[in-house]
Homo-oligomer: A and B are copies of this chain.
Amino acid sequence: MKINQRIKKMLSWYEGDSPGVKRNLASILMAGKLGGTGKMVILPVDQGWEHGGARSFAPNPAGYDPHYHYQLAIDAGLNAYAAPLGQLAQGADTFAGAIPTILKVNHSNSWSTSDDQAVTASVDDALQLGCSAIGLTMYPGSDKFNDMVEEARELTREAKSKGLAVVIWSYPRGGKLSKDGETAVDVVAYAAHLAAQLGANIIKVKPPTAHIEQADAKKVYDSCNIDVSTLTARIAHVKQNCFDGKRIVVFSGGAAKGTEAVLDEIRQLRDGGANGSIIGRNSFQRSREDALDLLKTIIRIYQDKA
């Protein structure tokens, strides 16, 4: 498959990055059924670290086997598969070259506080596992956010110096943020902006609500008449916050919910200009058959066919 003009254009936005980073970014952009469209669907399976195996895989026990997720992502025609070190390694040889992978290099766990993450893998691990990118999570708003920023910069710099792309999960949390504030549109847009400033090639945030958390921000949203009335408008606003749309931004599906609710939300993401979705629990906690069905429809949505 040839790199088309759309993908070339997108790669050109990453001016500061080496051809190595662009090649790996392109590998994700060109993979699967959405290859070449500038859209992507990624399968992330890091719930084991976060909540333990049972809470992650008991609803669909096939998922206890790390090979299951590789195969699911391949068979569904996804763009990439993201997972923690041990789980990714367990299938890395069998599936070498079969699908772009993203090594999640830090994680929280069920006993972590909102400002707590452990670095669980290295850039060299990612190279040796044949990954296209590393992924990392940060918590804007948390009391230790500045420490996380410095860690994120170090990991990002090392990954890029070795030609790997970087995906940042930017999840507002902790500190003075209210629970509603974690998904407030002003907060999510800011969180996405910070990931862009840190050098993320792909930014992952949650779909924002219409709530505005920060008083100083509220004034600006009002005075500038920023439209946050619909999810579609809010997604467009988040994209704008990422260098006027020059960064790839993908959205999570959030907590597991009904199929129609998921699809409906994704249509709005698409209409707002989202580059795609990261679909975790909503795919691997269903049966393989149901998951393949769901992912097929999601891909059709991003193909403007559904």
Contacts and interface: CB of A to CB of B under 8 A. Distances in A.
Interface of A: 1-3, 7, 11, 13, 15-27, 29-30, 48-49, 51-55, 57-59, 61, 64-66, 74, 84-98, 108-112, 116-122, 124-125, 127-131, 140-142, 145-147, 149-150, 153, 157, 161-163, 175-177, 186, 189-190, 193-194, 196-200, 214, 216-217, 220-221, 223-224, 226, 237, 240-246
Contact of A194 (B22, B91, B109, B197): B109
B125 A92 contact: no
A7 to B, nearest CB: 8
A230 to B, nearest CB: 17
22 contacts: A3-B97, A15-B94, A19-B129, A22-B93, A23-B96, A27-B27, A27-B97, A51-B216, A53-B241, A54-B220, A54-B237, A55-B217, A85-B153, A87-B196, A89-B199, A111-B177, A118-B145, A118-B146, A119-B150, A120-B153, A121-B153, A130-B163
Contacts of A53: 189-190, 193, 240-242
Contacts of A223: 59
A66 B243 CA distance: 6
A14 to B, nearest CB: 8
A233 to B, nearest CB: 13
A220 B186 contact: no
A188 to B, nearest CB: 10
Identify which of A90, A214, A226 gathers the most chain B CB atoms within 10 Å of its CB.
Answer: A90
Contact of A52 (B11, B119, B157, B189): B189
Contacts of A122: 153, 157
Given A130-B163, A194-B109, A197-B120, A52 B90 contact: no
B27 A19 contact: no
B221 A129 contact: no
Contacts of A194: 49, 109
A217 B52 contact: yes
A285 B74 CA distance: 41
Nearest to A164: B127
B153 A241 contact: no
